[in-house]
Amino acid sequence: MAKEHLVAFNVTPNTPPVRWLASLSDGRTVIQDDRKNAPAAWHRLREFLAANPGLRVTGLRLQGVKGKELTVLSHQRGYFFGFKGQAIVGGPQQHYVGIGYYDGNAVIINWLALPHFNHQFSEQRSKQRAGFMLIENPEDGG
């Protein structure tokens, strides 16, 4: 495998308490690790997949504090990961983490409030609007 140094297959000191885990077609799981002075783990996963054209993401889940976990549908055309914030002028701010999947028609995203997932909402986006937050699997992959 090429460029394995780009991703983590185990929990490391750089693994955040709320993290994504991407299942790969070779049976391994990549675990988010937030390295200093390095691109985001999601971008490094994209680079790793590009360097290993036979690999694809087959599943994605989000682990949170106190054992909370959300899994999206497996064996999809692509997977989404991102962050967003919401604020009311003069009021509270809330940060969300989103995971989702691309089924070939739309990107379906579940947004969860950080850090305890105590609020959740869903959103659909086009593939174009999902942009760099979407890792698309090759159509000919298994």
The average pLDDT across 62-88 equals 91
Q: What is the mean pLDDT of residues 3-24?
A: 95
Domain ranges of the chain: 4-136
User: Are 114 and 95 a contacting pair, CB within 8 Å?
Assistant: yes
Cα separation, 73 vs 131, in Å, equals 20
Phi, psi of 127, rounded to the nearest 5 degrees? -60, -40
* 67 pLDDT tier (thresholds 50, 70, 90): confident
Give me the residue label for tokens 């409030």: 113
